[in-house]
């Protein structure tokens, strides 16, 4: 006697199909659409907070020009119009990537972003490398030796990395490694001779790539030696977060059934951490990278100012000192766009790596 096994109903098949590309496509679309309200809210907040101090012309040039010339400049720039008219005009300019012209040095803000943005990108990239090299291995060590004294030391170190102000750790690093020991340069992206040579040859604007392309080992070492202290100062800030995150997630995976199964087969604890628990623990790292980019861009202002690393953060601090709020507004708006787009890219990568990440 044979028994026919009925095929699964179509109603049960449908969710399986929807659980594939359709759900991922919907997730990507939602994450992409969220970029616009995020940027809109940040730009709006920056615009109105800056205008609470008055118009940018008076803020930058007030007291240095006669009253009639100041009023003329304000009228030419359109800052005597209704605040909402100025706001909607500014939104329209942003959609065409026109962030205005700086008041102090008469440069288009887009040109400032192009001139100094690559320097900040280079610093953030170095800092991420430091964060990965320091945070992930030490997090694995802390998980493998959990509740022992090395674990306690590493957890305290992670808190110190994250809690120490960037400018303070930067000043201490300069004092120890540059002034007392004389091992590394005090400030700048490269020495004067190297900057002149790399600037004369043109190139990408990323000094390390340009130095390698020049074929001169002295230029390469000069660029690397100038980058070590700023990268360590900013990178350790994020390394503390990665360390604690990896430790927590590796320990969490120890309670999973597949870890118990591997342990029952005689797999060594070191291999359990390195092979079985390591990869699942990296997924949360990917999801928080977008947030850490925002943290690093904020920390770059203090780091670049401390080490005179001439990037967007350094220029932003200079424009703030000069009360050039047109430049400040443009740079902050561009940083908001970069952070929103970076978060979108990171979310998509996380969705491809971890199928559980869906809306």
pLDDT at res. 11: 39
Q: What is the model's pTM? A: 0.81
d(CA 190, CA 179): 17
Three-state DSSP state, 72: helix
Comparing CA positions, the residue from 338, 334, 309 lying closest to residue 207 is 309
Beta carbons of 170 and 229 less than 8 angstroms apart = yes
Q: Give the mean pLDDT of 139-153.
A: 87
**What are the start-end ranges of the H helices in 145-182?**
149-163, 166-173
Greater model confidence, 198 or 127: 127
Average pLDDT value for residue range 25-43: 86
Q: In percent, how much of the chain has pLDDT > 70?
A: 88
* 351 vs 316, more confident: 316
pLDDT at 222: 93
pLDDT at res. 292: 79
307: tokens are: 């080490």
Cβ 178 vs Cβ 306: under 8 Å: no
Residues in contact with 279: Cβ distance below 8 Å, sequence separation at least 6, in sequence order: none
**For range 317-322, the mean pLDDT:** 86
Phi, psi of 265, deg, nearest 5:
-85, 0
- Please tell me which residue, 11 or 341, carries the higher pLDDT value: 341
Of the candidates 233, 83, 255, 231, the one whose C-alpha atom is nearest the C-alpha of residue 164 is 233
pLDDT digits (tens, 9 = 90+) for 96-116: 888 888 888 888 888 888 888
Closest-CA residue to 112 (of 98, 125, 123, 124): 98
Residue 9 confidence class, pLDDT cut points 50, 70, 90: very low
Give me the mean pLDDT over the 15-27 stretch: 56
pLDDT confidence tier of residue 30, bands split at 50, 70 and 90? confident
| 310-333: average pLDDT | 87
Are the CB atoms for 60 and 104 separated by under 8 Å? Answer: yes
Question: Which of these ranges, 167-176, 191-200, 275-284, has the smallest mean pLDDT?
Answer: 275-284
pLDDT at residue number 54: 75
Q: Token pair for residue 340?
A: 């929103």
Q: Inform me whether the pLDDT recorded for 274 exceeds 70.
A: no
Mean pLDDT of the chain: 81
| Mean pLDDT to the nearest integer, 321-334 | 86
Question: Which residues lie closer than 8 Å to 228 by C-beta, 6 or more apart?
Answer: 184
Give per-residue pLDDT as tens, 50-78.
888 777 777 777 667 777 777 887 787 77
177-221 residue pLDDT tens = 999 998 999 888 988 888 888 877 667 888 899 889 888 899 999
pLDDT at position 131 over 60: yes
CB 297 within 8 A of CB 338: yes
pLDDT confidence bin for 6, thresholds 50/70/90? very low
SS3 helix, strand, coil % of the chain, rounded to 5? Answer: 75, 0, 20
The values of phi and psi at residue 3, to 5°, are -115, 125
CATH 3.90.180.10 fits 36-190+227-353, yes or no: no
Taking the C-alpha atoms of residue 227 and residue 128, their distance in angstroms, rounded to an integer, is: 13
Q: Output DSSP code: residue 53.
A: T
């Amino acid at each position: 006697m044979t028994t026919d096994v009925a095929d699964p109903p179509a109603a049960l098949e449908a969710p399986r199909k929807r659980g594939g590309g359709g759900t991922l496509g919907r997730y990507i679309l939602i994450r992409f659409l969220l970029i616009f309200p995020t940027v809109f809210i940040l730009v709006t907040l920056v615009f109105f907070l800056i205008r609470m101090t008055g118009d940018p012309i008076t803020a930058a040039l007030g007291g240095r020009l006669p009253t009639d010339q100041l009023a003329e400049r304000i009228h030419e720039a359109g800052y005597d119009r209704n605040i909402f008219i100025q706001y909607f005009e500014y939104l329209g300019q942003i959609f065409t990537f026109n962030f205005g012209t700086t008041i102090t040095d008469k440069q288009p803000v887009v040109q400032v972003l192009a001139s100094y943005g690559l320097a900040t990108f280079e610093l953030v990239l170095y800092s991420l490398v430091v964060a990965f090299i320091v945070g992930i291995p030490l997090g694995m060590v802390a998980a493998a030796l959990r509740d022992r004294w090395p674990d306690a030391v590493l957890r305290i170190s992670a808190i110190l990395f994250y809690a120490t102000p960037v400018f303070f750790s930067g000043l201490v690093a300069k004092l120890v490694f540059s002034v007392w020991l004389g091992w590394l340069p005090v400030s700048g992206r490269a020495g004067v001779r190297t900057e002149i040579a790399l600037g004369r040859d043109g190139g990408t604007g990323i000094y390390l790539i340009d130095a390698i392309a020049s074929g001169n080992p002295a230029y390469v070492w000069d660029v690397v030696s100038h980058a070590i202290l700023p990268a360590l100062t900013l990178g350790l800030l994020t390394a503390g977060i990665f360390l604690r995150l990896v430790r927590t997630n590796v320990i969490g995976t120890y309670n999973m059934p597949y870890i118990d199964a591997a342990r029952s087969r005689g797999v060594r604890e070191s291999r359990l951490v390195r092979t079985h628990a390591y990869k699942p623990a990296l997924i949360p790292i990917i999801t928080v990278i977008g947030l850490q980019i925002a943290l690093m861009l904020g920390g770059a202002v203090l780091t670049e100012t401390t080490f005179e690393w001439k990037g967007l953060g350094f220029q932003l601090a200079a424009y703030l000192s000069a009360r050039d709020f047109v430049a400040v507004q443009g740079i902050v708006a561009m940083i908001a766009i970069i952070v929103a787009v970076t978060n979108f890219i990171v979310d998509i990568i996380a969705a491809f790596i971890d199928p559980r990440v869906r809306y």
